[in-house]
Amino acid sequence: MNEWDEYAPFYDWENARTMGRRDVRFWQLRAEEARGPVLELGCGTGRLLMPIARAGVRVTGLDGSSAMLARARNRARRLPASRRPALIQGDLRALPFSSRSFAMVVAAYGVLQSLTTDADLEASLREAARVLGRGGALNIDLVPDLTAWPVYERAVRLRGRLRGRTISLTESVRQDRRRGLTVFDETFAVGSGRHARRHTFSLEFRTIPMKTMVARVEKAGFTVSAVEGDYRGGSWSRDAETWLIRAVRR
């Protein structure tokens, strides 16, 4: 089982306490602008995908994790049949769709930062360009400068309850500054004492300077129309709330 499969049972619980819903309306509005079908890369459990679908947008979610998609499918069953998104397991670097299939591609919440080599990032951007028609939109959301995160070991980050049982997240952070990688070593403990079940895995993310990321997007066949620093259209800076790139397929 890969690390994202391991993370799937805890993804919604953690993100409800960290990201919450502060980006949901932003992505609904972007998707409503698409004037055609929308593709979300790395849709996970459907945290953004379901609100977009609920708004009446024809949307497809793609993810590499079968466990994440299983949770997304459970969420989709709560929607009317006419508004359920398509859910596809696949690779961001080799999208299983025909050329010019979508009007918009969404890469939200740092999903492109999980591609930790230049070759993988460039392949994913090329594929996004391929599945968009001319004038199609690419919207990217990056987690700001992960290389600035402090290094620490075995800090208890979160505690709470999950489906009636106690749960805690113990986390360590490592930095590989030469490669621009930030590594999160995660242990979720469900239950207490000697009966607790521990789930341990690591997640790697890459930070690329904004100027370099914009250049990569443009090299892939896009014109960057805006760089923003929050979900309200604020200006970008290195220490902005988020790093948003809006681009149009040439």
- Domain total of the chain: 2
The answer to whether the CB of 76 falls within 8 A of the CB of 87 is yes
Q: Are residues 86 and 184 in the same domain?
A: no
Per-residue confidence (pLDDT) for residue 1, from 0 to 100: 52
Q: Are residues 159 and 41 in the same domain?
A: no
Supply 53's token pair.
């679908």
**Distance in angstroms between the alpha carbons of the first and the last residue of the chain:** 39
The answer to whether the CB of 154 falls within 8 A of the CB of 91 is no
Q: How far apart are alpha carbons 54 and 130 in whole angstroms?
A: 27
Q: How far apart are alpha carbons 172 and 114 in whole angstroms?
A: 18
Q: Are residues 56 and 107 in the same domain?
A: yes
Q: Are residues 220 and 232 in the same domain?
A: yes
The H or E element containing residue 17 is helix 3-17
The answer to whether the CB of 42 falls within 8 A of the CB of 36 is no
The SS3 assignment for 118 reads: helix
Q: Are residues 70 and 185 in the same domain?
A: no
The answer to whether the CB of 210 falls within 8 A of the CB of 189 is no
Buried b (16+ CB within 10 A) or exposed e, 12-33: bbbeeeeeeeebbebbbebbee
Q: Are residues 86 and 107 in the same domain?
A: yes
Supply 186's token pair.
């995660």
Instruction: Report mean pLDDT in 10-residue bins for the chain, 250 residues.
Output: 92 95 96 96 98 97 98 97 97 98 97 97 98 97 92 97 95 95 97 90 96 98 98 95 97
Q: Are residues 23 and 104 in the same domain?
A: yes
Q: Starting from the edge strand earliest in sequence, which strands make up the sheet with 102-107, in order?
A: 86-89, 59-63, 38-41, 102-107, 132-142, 243-249, 222-228
User: Domain of 153?
Assistant: 146-206
Supply 138's token pair.
């690419």
Q: Are residues 54 and 113 in the same domain?
A: yes
Residue 162 vs residues 14, 169, 207: alpha-carbon distances, Å: 10, 12, 31
The SS3 assignment for 128 reads: helix
Q: Are residues 33 and 73 in the same domain?
A: yes
What global pTM score does this model have? 0.96
Q: How far apart are alpha carbons 105 and 102 in whole angstroms?
A: 7
Per-residue confidence (pLDDT) for residue 194, from 0 to 100: 80
CATH of the domain at 114: 3.40.50.150
